[in-house]
Structure formats: C-alpha cells, structure tokens
Chains A and B, each alone.
Chain A
C-alpha cells in the first residue's frame, strides 16, 4: 500500500459526508424515513483493497459516527459502518480474482475490475449495509418482514443508481 492512499480517501470521506448530510438526508426526512439513500458506505467500499479488516472496521465506525453527528442518530450509523467494514472483507474475499488481490488493483473500482464485478460487489455490499442499518434503526426482529425488509429493499433500489452515477462521474482509481 502506497503512502498516497490517505489523501484521496480522506477527500472521498468528506465529499460523501457532505452529500449524505446536506443533500440526501433531506430525502430521508421527506419520506418520513421510509426511503434512505446512503452513499457514505462508498467510502468503506473504496478503501484500499488490501486494508486490514480491523482498520476497515474502525474506518467504517468513524465514518458512521460522523454521519450520526449530522443526522442526530448517535450509534446507528456507527454500528452499520463498522459492520459494513467487516462485511466488505468477506464480500471482497468472495469476489477475489484467481490468485487473490496483488495490490496492483488499488481500490474496488470498475477502473480495475470492470463494471460487472463492481456492480456485483457493490450490490451485495449495499444490500448488507442497508439491511443492518434498518435492523438497528428498528432494533427489534418483530418488524423484520413488514418494515425492515421492504424499507431496505426500497432504499437499495434508490441508492444503487446514485452509487453508479457517482462512480461513473468520478471513476476513482485511488
């Protein structure tokens, strides 16, 4: 991992936090929380591909805390971010190319792996993230089928196009 990884990731974090806090949180408010478009998990997904799992968990946790400060839901996004940091490693491991990741592919971007690979990875990653998020938001399995699952599905359908647009626009390479 090169030492130049910090700046792009920090920039990505701040930009995604700004979009999340200033623009997308309004959508959540306007739909009474029924649809939540969450793009900040892109920061977690686009961490350097060889980031050790504990660092990814901590990074996800920190990003979540920052979003929580914006949205006034302390602990909710922190839990989801940390979980996604861990899930990311499992998903990337499942989609690893033959011979594993070498470090030549800096981040999990379509610039290195192609759009098909990226869509598969990000679809699962965001589905997991949103499912955990709504599970924590309702905080009880009693609502799993009538609230958690439909809201997670609806939010996933709303989030994925934004994710694709952002990646298509910025096409990150590091």
Chain B
C-alpha cells in the first residue's frame, strides 16, 4: 500500500493523465461516430497486422514439422514412382501375354517397395568397415537387408534393426555390393568399395569391349533386390582394361558423398526374403 502511495506521489500526474485519457477515449469511441468508425477500422487493421505476424512466427516455428511432413510425402511419392516403374513394365508384359493368360496382370502389378524417410544419426568414415545409424527401426517398418538411398545416390544396406533405430553398412564397407550398370549398356557388374580411397568405388565385371567414358552414369541394375532400378549411384571417373582380363577396371565417384549424408530413404523390398530363398535354392541346385 505504501509503495502504491509512493508511486502515486512520484507519478501521480502521469497516472491521472492515463486514466483520464482512457475514459476520454472510451467516451469518444462510443459517443462520436467519426472516431468510432476510425477506431473500428484501426482496430481491424492492427488486429490483422498482429494476426499476420503471429501466423508468420507460427509458420517459422512449424518449419521443422513441415519438413518432416514433406519427407514423408516424398517417401510416399517415391514408393509410388518406384512401384509404378515396375508396374508399367509388367502391364506392358501382361498386355503382350493377354491372349495366353488373363489373370497374370493382377498378380504382377503388386507394389514391390515401401520407402521410409529417415535421418542419419551416426556415421563412421575412417575404418575399414563403416556403418551408419538411422533413426528408423522395426516400429517404422524397417527390415534387415533393406537398401538405403538418398536423393542423389546410394548410401548403404540395413543389417540390424532395433525398435527405433537401424544399423546400416555404408557403401564404404567391403561387404556392401550393389548390382549396377552403366546407363545405356545392358551389362551389369558389382559396385563395391575396394578399401583404398574413400572418395571412389569400384565397378567390376563390365566387359572390356564397352566404350566406357569418363562422366558416364552408373545406376542400379534391374537385378538388385535392395535398390530401385535406375537409381543413380555414381559417375565414371576412370575406366581401363586390366592386363590379361576380359573385364574393365572402372573407378566410380559416388554421386552421394559418404561424408555428408543427412536425409535418406530406406527401401524395403516386400519380397526380399522370398527372392533370397529362391536364389539360395537355385545356388543349392547348381
């Protein structure tokens, strides 16, 4: 109470003025139509301005959520696109065979891939066996032996899956082998890291007679169970015939640098187990 009195003694004039102005403003805006109209318009203008600023700030703070939503949307579209590629080919195939089989189409147009957006939360580069940790796990639908790609290249292969995270072999892991082709040529080979220079991968088993040139695009072949066909993997850096060999040594610069990976997509092949079993059976029969 004493401090209130002190406040009034010190700033009594100002306080009285503010009170008088508030009463006057109330009287003016309630009794005089010009001021009433201006006050109404001003209030509307200021409230719109405040609302606009509020929305701008909310938009700014919701960018992270928006980013996640876009990634999920992107994953969904990639799933559709990847499956559409397969579907298109199969439909064409089905049409050709329509006269001999009419039920084949339905079975062959089943979606093959599920693509899950993820973020790299751990990445090793300096060892012989390099790994990535991804922030998606079994709860999100990730399965072991799923490919990991980024927007610009291949990243690795999932080996172990926990509830919320996945452990993936990087392309800089000697066991990561990707079935790849050079765009425009029908021959496929194996893309892997030779454990020497982490800036380059090696594409093996490409016949020597192909006129491969520096700058040619290396992409995932249609025999890959882990990655969608046609996804770009790298650019040819050098290519030459190994002495006494029928194959080329091709040094490939990956289009996705293993050192700067952040946002990735996990490619789950829904029929991977089934296809692996068939492959194993085929190997046993040989």
Chain A residues close to B by CB (< 8 Å): 52-54, 56-58, 60-61, 64, 68, 73-76, 78-79, 82-83, 85-86, 89, 136, 138-140
Pairwise interchain contact A53-B13, C-beta atoms closer than 8 A: yes
Q: Bound complex: CA of A138 vs CA of B39, how far in Å?
A: 11
Pairwise interchain contact A139-B28, C-beta atoms closer than 8 A: yes
A11 smallest CB distance to B (angstroms): 24
Cβ of B242 under 8 Å from chain A: no
Q: Which residue of B lies closest to A141 (CB)?
A: B42
- The size bracket of the interface on B is 20 to 34
- Contacts A75-B29, A79-B21, A86-B17 known; 7 new A-B pairs at CB < 8 A: A52-B12, A53-B13, A74-B27, A75-B32, A79-B20, A85-B17, A139-B39
Pairwise interchain contact B31-A74, C-beta atoms closer than 8 A: yes
A141 smallest CB distance to B (angstroms): 10
Pairwise interchain contact B20-A74, C-beta atoms closer than 8 A: no
Q: Given A79-B20, A140-B42, is A89 in contact with B25 using a C-beta cutoff of 8 Å?
A: no
Tell me what chain A mostly uses at the interface: helix, strand, loop, or mixed: helix
Q: Bound complex: CA of A136 vs CA of B20, how far in Å?
A: 14
Cβ of B35 under 8 Å from chain A: yes
A73 smallest CB distance to B (angstroms): 6
Pairwise interchain contact B16-A57, C-beta atoms closer than 8 A: yes
Contact of B28 among A58, A76, A82 (CB under 8 A): A76
Chain B residues close to A by CB (< 8 Å): 8, 12-17, 20-21, 23-32, 34-35, 38-39, 42
Q: Given A54-B16, A75-B32, A139-B39, is A82 in contact with B21 using a C-beta cutoff of 8 Å?
A: yes
Contact of B26 among A52, A53, A75 (CB under 8 A): A75
B127 smallest CB distance to A (angstroms): 69
Contact of A54 among B12, B25, B28, B34 (CB under 8 A): B12
A51 smallest CB distance to B (angstroms): 11
Q: Given A54-B15, A58-B16, is A78 in contact with B34 using a C-beta cutoff of 8 Å?
A: no
A54 smallest CB distance to B (angstroms): 4
Residues in A whose Cβ lies below 8 Å from that of B16: 53-54, 57-58, 82, 86
Q: Which residue of A lies closest to B17 (CB)?
A: A86
Contact of A82 among B12, B20, B39, B42 (CB under 8 A): B20
Pairwise interchain contact A61-B20, C-beta atoms closer than 8 A: yes
Contact of B17 among A52, A57, A136, A138 (CB under 8 A): A57
Q: Bound complex: CA of A73 vs CA of B35, how far in Å?
A: 10
Q: Given A58-B20, A78-B23, A139-B38, is A89 in contact with B28 using a C-beta cutoff of 8 Å?
A: no
Residues in A whose Cβ lies below 8 Å from that of B24: 61, 64, 75-76, 78-79, 82, 136
Q: Given A52-B12, A86-B13, A140-B42, is A75 in contact with B20 using a C-beta cutoff of 8 Å?
A: no
Q: Bound complex: CA of A54 vs CA of B8, how far in Å?
A: 9
Pairwise interchain contact B14-A79, C-beta atoms closer than 8 A: no
Q: Bound complex: CA of A83 vs CA of B29, how far in Å?
A: 18
Q: Which residue of A lies closest to B24 (CB)?
A: A79
Residues in A whose Cβ lies below 8 Å from that of B12: 52-54
Q: Bound complex: CA of A140 vs CA of B45, how far in Å?
A: 12
